[in-house]
Amino acid sequence: MKEMRAKSLPQMLGLAVALGAVAGPAFAHHSFVMYDKDKTATISGTVKSWQFANPHSELVVSVIENGAPTDYLVEGSSVNVLVRIGWGPKSFVPGDKITVVMNPMRDGTKAGSFLRATLGNGKTMSAGSQATAN
């Protein structure tokens, strides 16, 4: 019996390490509670960057406020979700003119959760649909 326990201890430790490695990313994923889902904010500016990456995509929009550029971070869905609705790494290109509608941060930080966007060429994109031309 003692020999059986000795052999199972390394297996148990290995299992614990494997579960910890898998659980880490799950705990790193956050909720969207920091965004005020009862409010929307609209910003217009220029795409500064577009990160088509997990766990959430990130669009940075440079907006002119009081004569100076201010960056807004707009968080979107995961790559898996976006690919299914036709989005990709070139959905937003730095330099593009853009108007974004988002749920703003509750604390007033210059950021939000993506709802929809209209590009300068009239193409619209929403969190749940493919791009369409107006």
pLDDT in tens, 81-106: 999 989 999 999 999 999 999 999 99
- pLDDT for 88: 94
Write the Ramachandran bin of 10: left for phi over 0, alpha for psi from -120 to 50, otherwise beta.
alpha
Per-residue pLDDT at 8: 65
CB of 114 closer than 8 Å to CB of 127: yes
Q: pLDDT for 63-87, tens place per residue?
A: 999 999 999 999 999 999 999 989 9
Residue 28 scores a pLDDT above 50: no
| Angle made by CA atoms 49, 50, 51, in degrees to the nearest 5 | 120
Using a pLDDT cut of 90, give the percent of the chain over it: 66
